[in-house]
Homo-oligomer: A and B are copies of this chain.
Amino acid sequence: MCRIAAYSGPSIPLENIVVRPKHSLLEQSQHASEAKLAVNGDGFGIAWYDQDEAPGLYRDVLPAWADGNLTSLCRMVRSRLFIAHVRAGTVGETSRQNCHPFSYGRWSFCHNGQVPHFPTIRRRLEAALPDHLYNARGGSTDSEMIFLTLLANGLANDPDTAMAATLEQIGAGRDPVKLTCVFSDGQTLFGFRHASKGNAPTLYASDTLDNGGLAFASEPLDGGAWDAVPQGEIVELAGLKSCQAA
């Protein structure tokens, strides 16, 4: 279980989402209230867009709250669209390559959930990747694999079709697949929740930020209006338009 916060709108310091809100992502990293684990200390990451097509990527294995660099970066770096993630690894050693978000070209992606039968399908999924995406695999998580599979399935052309094809490839196992993710091409923020059984991890969208910006968050960042993202359909937050289903 992890926590996610993402923003699209007028350029703001990252800290306005990551640090300053009453229930900021940093606060959620220590005191999540809607997650199975209250603490998300197994690394963090931020993908942010500025002038380049490709996002900047900052990831580290420390708990977000223990990283002095992160505080400084969040105060100094401004961005018009960014995705931030704090990780609660369930098993194994933490490495930067396994920290979210992942990026490829202009795309960035982060994930909260799990594919319990991933060990049994990992090899098949990797074999299905075209060479350029196979060679882009840097870590060993199910999350990165979902991202690369989405790209292989044409995420850039049709997110809905790519998601459906990816879920089809993942298939079902004994334990339910849970997948809440936020991703972007640098223009639009996409949010999606899926569970093969039961409830996917929470995700909320807001179009009532003070500055006119839009946001996704695993838990509402403040007392404003936040709508739960429904399961099974991709929600897009684009530019300064209001929240709308794809």
A71-79, A148-156, A171-179, A226-234 - the one binding chain B: A71-79
Query: Chain copies in the assembly?
Result: 4
Asked if B60 and A69 sit within 8 Å, CB to CB, the answer is: yes
Interface size on A, residues (CB 8 A): 43
Q: Which residues of B contact A157 (CB under 8 A)?
A: none
A17-25, A129-137, A201-209, A235-243 - the one binding chain B: A129-137
Asked if A68 and B96 sit within 8 Å, CB to CB, the answer is: yes
In the complex the two chains form, what is the Cα distance from A127 to B131 in whole Å? 13
Asked if A122 and B97 sit within 8 Å, CB to CB, the answer is: no
Q: Which residues of B contact A119 (CB under 8 A)?
A: 135
Q: If A59-B69, A123-B131, A140-B137 touch, does A95 touch B95 (CB 8 Å cutoff)?
A: yes
Interface residues of chain A, those whose CB is within 8 Å of chain B, are 30, 38-39, 41-42, 48, 50, 52, 56-63, 66-69, 72-73, 75-77, 89, 92-97, 119, 122-123, 126-127, 131, 134-135, 137-138, 140
